[in-house]
Amino acid sequence: MTDIHPHQSSEPSTSYRPLLAALGLLAAVYVAALVAGLPQRGTAAVIASQTHAPEGEQHAAQVEGDPTGHTPPPLAMILPFALLLGAIAICPLVPGISHWWESNLHKFYVAGALAALTLVYYLFLHEHPLDGHFPARHSVDYGPGGPNIATAWTVFSNAMFAEFVPFIILLFSLFTISGGIRLEGDLRAHPSTNTAFLAIGSLLASLIGTTGAAMLLIRPLLETNRERRHVQHTVVFFIFIVCNCGGCLLPTGDPPLFLGYLLGVPFLWTLELWPVWAFVNLCLLAIYYLWDRFIAYPREAAESLVRDETTTRPLRMIGLWPNAALLLGVIATVGLLDPGKPFPGTSWHPWIYLREMVQLLLIAASLGFGNREVRAANHFHFGAITEVAVLFFGIFICMQPPLQVLEIRGPSLGLTEPWHYFWATGSLSSFLDNAPTYVVFFETAKSVTATVGLTPTVATTGVYLPYLIAVSLGAVFMGANTYIGNGPNFMVKAIAEGSGVKMPSFFGYMAYSIGILIPLFLLTTLLFLLPR
């Protein structure tokens, strides 16, 4: 059975004028907001929240053992999130629905309906206070006797303005700018060549982010392997390594670590994770090489191997200008334009959403000044990022109830050992977005550190060092367990399918992760996370 099906996508349009016009309009709106002082007020609220407790007193009807004084949603409200995961997993497998599900608009119907169901619960049924996170942390009470508009709006703004917008704009910028760079050529698709691609990706993932590295390398890897018929496992290992496990050495590597940096983790602290990073990635590279060398490569037809050996071209990189500089610009915005931190060398805090606005302008520069022929050669289009956006729109809203349950009940879960945090953070990062999941268990570890009387060996975080290591590794590594664990996973899947690779279903992909990653993570636990 082949891993390749006929390529059916049409040549993408090279006209980006509507998008450039939309970006220009957003820039004008942001300038108008600056004139009105709105972003400045948001930044002032962020600064104030760092020195003052959340507004409002804790409520008398406090849940026992809950430091927030809030009541979590009922467990039944996890159902919309579970249904959305079920739709993502099952709809592509059902013959009568699979074709309908291919449309991103139809995905949005499902994601939007389940998100609306979640918001309806908060509008009419959740008669308890909760925490707001936008523009800064604050407490929101409920209004008895009518629709709780403030409560529903708080949940929506937590999901959209505090989490989804920064998440999707960062992915959008890395996706679009790296799409203007082409590593062109056709090497012999030997197992050693593919392994070298994955190894380079594991290094780049921490430097330019898992999204940037994935978008830069996935197309040349697919082109190198276009004469081969058994390619599925190569893309799966690419997701394992480049989209996830390679990105734990710097806060720029993966969104959870960036959030840790914002919560006080020193920028270079993550370099201390290098022994585990090296162990996991070297194991994955070795497993991949053995699989490709002794299982997949011998199954290739003789004529495919002849074409692969004879139709070769040396690698060359085009489109570096202006896109390489723009990628560095995106990374700089992540580190320098955080409203919660003063700009280096000054007392000025960047205005809220300035980081995202600059990233959008970098996208405009890439589309306006980059070489359109390079994008055409890459078969670049926005289908992959659109699929991520419509699904994660629903995911970010529907995951608010389970995240609130974790935030309130987390300290009572009995997490006392580093391996507890690794598996708890990792298991939920496989299905919830790994960035907010990281924050929940980071705060849980901080609370337990203080309660048990452990020494917070990373003083700026208040978190016991072995807990911080475990939470960081669990969030980054186990985002590889499913297609929805990390944003780049879905984008790579979509690009591979557009190039003719028949990717596994949701459950088929999990068969790979359960068979390969889970045993490796168990071994990681034994070697690095158990008490000595």
Annotate 281-292 with DSSP letters as a single string: HHHHHHHHHHHI
- pLDDT at 170 exceeding the cut of 70: yes
* 133 in a structural domain: yes
Helix, strand, or coil here: 461? coil
- How many Å apart are CA 325 and CA 438, to the nearest integer? 30
**Is the domain of 253 the same as that of 387?**
yes
Q: What is the pLDDT of residue 135?
A: 92
Question: Helices 434-452 and 400-409: crossing angle, nearest 10°?
Answer: 10
* 426 in a structural domain: yes
**Which of these three, 344, 370, 396, is where a domain ends?**
370
Averaged pLDDT score across all residues of the chain = 88
What mean pLDDT do residues 69-98 have?
88
- pLDDT at 390 exceeding the cut of 80: yes
* 399 in a structural domain: yes
- pLDDT at 149 exceeding the cut of 70: yes
Q: What is the pLDDT of residue 186?
A: 79
Residue whose entry in the numeric block shows the structure tokens 């590295």: 213
Lowest-pLDDT range of 180-184, 245-249, 287-291? 180-184
- pLDDT at 54 exceeding the cut of 50: no
What mean pLDDT do residues 120-147 have?
88
**Is the domain of 80 the same as that of 35?**
no
**Is the domain of 118 the same as that of 245?**
yes
Q: Give Rg (Cα) of the chain.
A: 23
What domain range includes position 295? 69-319+371-529
Domain count, the chain: 2
Q: What is the pLDDT of residue 473?
A: 98
What mean pLDDT do residues 425-443 have?
85
- pLDDT at 11 exceeding the cut of 70: no
- pLDDT at 56 exceeding the cut of 80: no
**Is the domain of 384 the same as that of 301?**
yes
Lowest-pLDDT range of 119-128, 404-413, 474-483, 506-515? 404-413
- pLDDT at 246 exceeding the cut of 50: yes
- pLDDT at 511 exceeding the cut of 70: yes
* 63 in a structural domain: no
Q: How confident is the model at residue 85 (pLDDT cuts 50, 70, 90)?
A: confident
Quick one: DSSP state of residue 11? P
255-283 per-residue burial string, b: 16 or more CB within 10 A, e: under 16? bbbbbbbebebeeebbebbeebbeebbeb
Q: What is the pLDDT of residue 524?
A: 98
**Which of these three, 370, 396, 429, is where a domain ends?**
370
**Is the domain of 378 the same as that of 445?**
yes
- pLDDT at 525 exceeding the cut of 70: yes
Q: 463 phi and psi, to 5 degrees?
A: -115, 135
Q: What is the pLDDT of residue 92?
A: 86
* 150 in a structural domain: yes
What mean pLDDT do residues 353-363 have?
97
**Is the domain of 147 the same as that of 217?**
yes
141-157 per-residue burial string, b: 16 or more CB within 10 A, e: under 16? ebeeeeebebbbebbbb
* 4 in a structural domain: no
- pLDDT at 58 exceeding the cut of 70: no
The DSSP string of 343-382 is PTTSSPPPPTTHHHHHHHHHHHHHHHHS-HHHHHHTT--S
**Is the domain of 143 the same as that of 270?**
yes
**507: CB partners within 8 A, 6+ apart:** 89, 93
Q: How many residues does the chain have?
A: 532
Most confident by average pLDDT, 429-438, 446-455, 479-488? 479-488
Percent of the chain topping pLDDT 70: 93
* 330 in a structural domain: yes
Q: How confident is the model at residue 492 (pLDDT cuts 50, 70, 90)?
A: very high
- pLDDT at 459 exceeding the cut of 70: no
**Top-confidence residue, 481 or 311:** 481
**Is the domain of 18 the same as that of 110?**
no
CA neighbor of 451 nearest in space, from 225, 500, 7, 443 = 443
- How many Å apart are CA 492 and CA 319, to the nearest integer? 20
**Is the domain of 366 the same as that of 382?**
no
Q: What is the pLDDT of residue 6?
A: 39
Lowest-pLDDT range of 49-58, 132-141, 302-311, 385-394? 49-58
**Is the domain of 181 the same as that of 35?**
no
* 3 in a structural domain: no
**Is the domain of 366 the same as that of 472?**
no
**Which of these three, 370, 389, 407, is where a domain ends?**
370
**Is the domain of 194 the same as that of 343?**
no
Q: What is the pLDDT of residue 503?
A: 95
Helix, strand, or coil here: 156? helix
Distances in whole angstroms, Cα of residue 183 to Cα of each of 79, 93, 209, 223, 503: 44, 34, 18, 10, 23
What mean pLDDT do residues 325-344 have?
90
Most confident by average pLDDT, 259-268, 306-315, 417-426? 417-426
Lowest-pLDDT range of 427-441, 463-477, 497-511? 427-441
- pLDDT at 199 exceeding the cut of 50: yes
